[in-house]
Structure 1
C-alpha cells in the first residue's frame, strides 16, 4: 500500500510540473472562444453591407441558447446584432462557410427572445422584413459539435419589383415561366381573396399582367411548389378585381380560363416566404380539347339501347358538356351525363359528339356505329315421349331465322342426374326465311343408365359463330319434356 501511494504522488507531481512548464514556455498558443461567443458580447453590425470571417471551432454553448430552429442540439454559438435603420428586407447568409451551420434570427432581449427566421446548411440563408429601430440578434451555431470556419454576411435587399398590383410585371409572350422570390414579397392591403387559398389570403404575393392582343383563346396558369397558388383576375384596380380562375399547387395541375381579345388579365402568385424549394409559375395556351368517345355495346342491334359518353383525363376539361347527333335524325341536347339511343333499323350510322370545356374550348368527333341484328331461335324441339333401352330414335330441332343467312350450331345435351352432358352437335347454314325453318336432325340411342333412371331430359341450344352475337338469346335454348325410358324387352321362348 505504501509503494502504491508513493507512485501516485510522483505521477501527480510530474503532471503538475508539466502543466506549469507549458504555461511558462513562450510561443505556446492556447485557443480561446471567439469574442462574440455569448449573446451579451454579440458583434455589433454598424453598417451594411457587412461581412465577417472567423473560426468558431472553440465557440461554446450558453445554457439559454435558443434551439427553436431545429431539432438538433445547438453547439458552439456566436452572435451578431444589428439595429435596423429603415423598414425593408434584410438577408443574412453563411455562404462560404466550411460546414453546415444553423442560422437563426431573433428579436427581443436575453431570456425573452422571439424567433423571426432561420435556415440551416453550408449556405444557410434567411430573408426577413425588418422594422426601423428594431434590434435583431443573429445566432450562428454548429449541430452536434462547434462550428468551423464561418463566413457571415448581412445586407439589405430590395423588395420584389412586382410585389404590388400597380407594378405587375408584364408577360411579353407565351409560353411564359418564372420563379419568383417570395422571401422579398409581401401581402398588399386590399388584395382580393382567392377561392383556392386557405391561409386567410395574407401570404406573400407577386403580380403579373398579360394582355391578349390576339383572338379570344383559352389559357392555362399553373404553379409548382408546396404552398403556392395562382389566381387570375380582371379589373383595373385592386377594389375592382374579379376572379376568373384559381388553382393551388395540386401536383402541378393547371387552371384554365378564357382570355378575350384586347383584355388584360392580372395573375397573382402566392407562396410562403420561407419556401424550401423554388416555386414556378407557367402561363401557356391551353391544349386542344380532345376527349375520348365511348360506345356500349360495341356491336349493337335494334334491341339495344346504345350508351354514348365522352371523357377526358385532363382536369381543366371537366366538367364537359356534350351534345350528340346520332346520325339517324335524332339528337340529344348538351349535358354532362352519358346518353343512350336505340336505332330502329340495321345500318351504319355516323354519330357526332360536340363537346365544350368549362373555359370554352370545343371539340367535334365522329364515331361510326354499326347496327346489325342477328336473331336465330328454336322454333320446335321434338323428342320421343318414350323409349326402351337400346332403342335409337330421332330427335329434331327446327331453327328459325328472318334477317341474315347464318351459320348456326345446335348442341344437343342430356341431363345425367347431375350435369348436362353433350350427346350431339350439328352445324348448318340457315338462310333468312320469314316463315320457314331449318331442321337439325339427331339420333339418340338410349343406354342402360337411361333405363336405370327411368327418364331422360334433353336440352337443345342454338349458337352463332364468334364474333356474331344473337340479339335475342332468350329463344336459343329449350329443354324438352323428359322421355320415359323402359328396360330392354324380355323375350319369351316357347318350350
Structure 2
C-alpha cells in the first residue's frame, strides 16, 4: 500500500489595532481640548477617526446635541484677517455634530454656532480671534467623520430677463439670480446699463428707447462683503411685418381654380416669413389649405407677394361662399406688432 504525503500551508492573518494595555483603543491626539489640533492654513480637509475619543468633565455640550454622551475631537483656527469661513462635518457612516466656540479655556468657552446630522456652518470670523471646532458623532458614534474648514468662496450671480427677444415696445423685467454657498445672503445690488440706467434693486423693469445692443452689468455683494459680477448683452430688435393686401376672387364657380395673393410689408429686418391660408367651415372651425415660406427683404415701399391657388368645390358652391383667412408669421423672431398679421376676405360662389 502506497501512502501519499501532502504539504499544507496555513496562513494566519493578524489584524493589529493600536491599543493601550488592557485592550482599550488609543484616543485621537486631539481628543482633549488642551491638545487641540491647531490649523495654520486653509483649506483643511481630512477624514477624522474619532475611535477611542472621550468627553471631558468640563467640556461644553453643544446646544444642538442629541443628549447622548459624545466622543469629541478639537480643532482651532485663528484667521489673519476678517473673513467668512465654512466648516463641514459630513455624514459618512453616521450623523454628526459640529459646534464652534470662542474663549481661552475649556470651562470658559462660548458657543458661536452649532449644527447636527451633516452640518455645514458659516462663520464670519474676526482677525486675531481663535475659533474652536468641536466634532463628534451625533448619537455618540465613533469612527470616520469627513471634516472640512475653508474660506467661503464668492457668491454666484447671474442676470435673468424677459422677454428674451425684446423690442423697443417691450417693458423688460430684470432680476438677479444669486446663490451664496455660505448661506449668508443679504445681497445688495449694483446694476449698470450702457444706456445710462442704474439700479440697486434685485428686481426691476426697464424699457430701451430704441433698437441696439446694450451691455448690462451686475455686481452682487453679500452681507459679509463677498461679491461677484455678471454681464450680458441685450439685443433689442423691433421686428414688424404686416399684411398690406389680401386679394381673393370676388366670384368663383365650382371646379374653378383661382389665385389668392397675400402681400407682406416688411420695413424693419429681413427675415423668412410664413403665410398660412385657411378657409372657414360651416358651424365653426377652419381648414388649412396652404402654407408658403418666403424670404422677405426689408423694404420701405414694395411688398412681397405670396401666391396661393385654390380650386373651389361643389361643397363650397352649396354654401354659396368661402371665407378665407391669411396669417403671417416671422420665422426667426417675434413680431412686435402682430395685430396686423391677419386678414380675412370672402369669395362668393355661383350656385
Task: Determine if the TM-score, normalized by the shorter chain, exceeds 0.5.
Answer: yes
Q: Contact 2:53–2:72 (CA<8 Å) still a contact in 1?
A: no
Describe how 1:270-309 pairs up with structure 2 within 5 A.
270-271=136-137, 275=141, 277-302=143-168, 303=170, 305-309=172-176
Corresponding position: 1:459 with 2:325: yes
Give how far 1:349 is off: 1.5
Q: Which residue of 1 aligns with 2:289?
A: 422
Q: List alignment gaps of at least 5 residues for structure 2.
A: 1-11
Q: Describe the superposition over 1:268-327 as per-residue Cα deviations: whole angstroms up to 9, x where unpaired.
A: 212258536412322223334344544444332232524444244x74356472623344
Q: CA deviation at 1:339?
A: 4.9
TM-score by length of 2: 0.75
Q: Name the TM-score, length of structure 1 as normaliser.
A: 0.56
Change (3 A) 1:227 1:405: closer
Q: Would you say the 8 A contact 2:18–2:26 is kept in 1?
A: no
Residue-by-residue CA offset, 1:7-49 (whole Å, 9 max, x unaligned): xxxxxxxxxxxxxxxxxxxxxxxxxxxxxxxxxxxxxxxxxxx
* Secondary structure of residue in 2 paired with 1:316: coil
Deviations, residues 346-370 of structure 1 (Å, cap 9, x unaligned): 2111212222346542111211221
Compared with structure 1, are the counterparts of its residues 198 and 190 closer, same or farther at alpha carbon in structure 2 (3 Å cutoff)?
A: closer
Match of 1:191 in 2: 60
Distance 1:293 1:123 in 2: 58
Aligned to 1:260: 126
Which residue, out of 150, 157, 170, partners 2:38?
Answer: 170
Where relative contact order (Cα < 8 A, 6+ residues apart) is larger, the structure is: 2
Distance 1:349 1:400 in 2: 28
Instruction: Work out which of the two has the higher radius of gyration on C-alpha atoms and give 1 or 2.
Output: 1
CA RMSD in angstroms, aligned pairs only:
3.8
Task: Give the match's secondary structure for 2:41.
Answer: coil
The question of whether the paired residues in 1 share the 8 Å contact of 2:278 and 2:288 is answered with yes
8 A contact 2:53–2:142 mirrored in 1: no
Deviation at 1:461, TM superposition (A): 1.6
Among 195, 216, 240, the alignment partner of 1:328 is 195
In the alignment, the residues of structure 2 paired with residue 319 and residue 422 of structure 1 have an alpha-carbon distance, to the nearest angstrom, of 58
Specify the alignment match of 2:48 in structure 1. Answer: 179
Aligned position for 2:6: none
In the alignment, does 2:97 pair up with 1:229?
yes
Q: 1:199 to 1:326 in 2, by over 3 A?
A: farther
Unaligned ranges ≥5, structure 1? 1-95, 99-121, 128-152, 488-495
Task: Report the 3-state secondary structure (helix = DSSP H, G, I; strand = E; otherwise coil) of the residue aligned with 2:315.
Answer: helix
Q: Work out the CA distance in 2 between the residues paired with 1:239 and 1:274.
A: 23
Q: Distance in 2 between matches of 1:247 and 1:274?
A: 15
1:485 equivalenced with 2:349 (yes/no): yes
Asked if structure 1 preserves the Cα contact closer than 8 Å seen for 2:270 and 2:295, the reply is no
The number of residues matched between the two structures is 331
Change in 2 beyond 3 A, CA 1:270/1:288: same
Structure 2 vs 1, CA of residues 270 and 408 (structure 1 numbering), >3 Å: closer, same or farther? same
Matched, 1:410 2:278: no
- The answer to which structure has the higher helix fraction is 1
